[in-house]
Amino acid sequence: MTHLGSPHDAYDFIEQIGDGSFGTVHKAQNKISHKVVAVKVMKKKYNTLQDCQGQFEPKLLDLIPPHINIVQLYDSFLSPTTCDLSFIMEYMDGGNLYQLMRERRHHNLPFNHCELRNILHQILSAVSHIHSHQVFHRDMKPENLLLDYSIGRPIIKLADFGLARELKSKPPYTEYVSTRWYRAPEVLLRSTEYSAPVDLWAIGAIFAELITLEPLFPGESEIDQIYRICEILGSPGNKIVEWKEGVKLAYKIGFKFPQLSPKPLESVIPNATESMLDLIRHFLFFNPCQRWSADTALRHVFF
C-alpha cells in the first residue's frame, strides 16, 4: 500500500546505482535499522494516491508471495512535495546477469554445465512462481536478473515488474515491450493478445546467450530482429515451420516473411549438449501455444 511521505525521511540516500527509461535506482540505508535497500524513484510524477493506482508494479508484487528468486518490495511512498513515487526494494549488490556474461566473455570464461543448470533453474523457478500467481513479466532480459552473493553461491532474482501484467487482464496490451533481442515473434508482429509464453521465448534466447556468451538474435531493428530469428529457426508459412496466426499477423502489418529454411541448432550453438538444445528448441517455437511452460521445463532431464 503506497502512503504519503518522502523516503528521505526514513532513509539516507548513499548513491545512484541505476538509471532506466522508467526511473532511477538509489542505494539507501534505513536511518533506524541501518538496513541497506534499493530505492526506485519513478520518472513520471503523480499528484495524488489515486493517480498511483495505475502503477502496476506494486500492485502485481502484492499478488506474488515472497520467493527467493524474486526481488522483494518492502514499501512505497508518494512525496506530496515533489510528486515522486518511490519503491523501497531489496538491495542486490552483485550486479546483473548481463554484466556477469560480459565479464565472462572478456576473460573467455564460459559457464560450465553445473553453472548453466543452476542459473537456468533459478530463472525458471522465478517465472514459474509468477505465472502460477497469474502474472507475466513482459520484460525478461539479462539486465533484469540481479545477482546476490551474500550466502556464497550466486542467487538470481527477477526484478523490474514495471511492464508486468496479470494473466487474467484483458488485451490489448502495450505493443512495445521487452528489449528487442529477447522479444517474442508475436510481439514483434504487433499482436495485442500475447501472454505468458513471451517470457519463455525470452528465457530461450537468454539461455542460448549464457552458453555462447553472444546474443542469439541481436537485431538492429524490429524488421532485422524478425529476419535474424528466421535465419536460425526458418520462416513460418511453409511445411517445415507452421504458424498460421503469425502469417496472419504479418499480413495485417504488411510484412512478408523471408523464405528461409531452419539451421541445425547444434551448428548455431556448437558447445551446447543435446539436453540444452532440446530445452532451447522447446522455448523457441514461433507458435506460443507450443512453447513449454516454466513448470514443464523444470522437469526436463537437463536438471
> Residues forming the annotated binding site for ATP?
40
Set of cell numbers at residue 280: 532451447
The size of the chain, in residues, is 303
Catalytic residue among 139, 148, 160, 199: 139
Residues whose CB falls within 8 Å of the CB of residue 231, separated by 6 or more in sequence, listed in order:
260, 263
For residue 294, with 0-12 CB atoms within 10 Å meaning exposed, 13-18 middle and 19 or more buried, which class applies?
Answer: buried
Is residue 139 annotated as a catalytic residue, yes or no?
yes
- Helices and strands counted in the chain (H then E): 11, 10
CA–CA dist 252, 196 (Å, integer): 23
Contact yes or no for 89/23 (Cβ under 8 A): no
The tally of CA atoms less than 13 A away on the side-chain side of residue 117 is: 10
For residue 246, with 0-12 CB atoms within 10 Å meaning exposed, 13-18 middle and 19 or more buried, which class applies?
Answer: buried
Contact yes or no for 206/182 (Cβ under 8 A): yes
CA–CA dist 2, 130 (Å, integer): 22
Contact yes or no for 86/80 (Cβ under 8 A): no
**Which sequence positions are flagged as catalytic?**
139
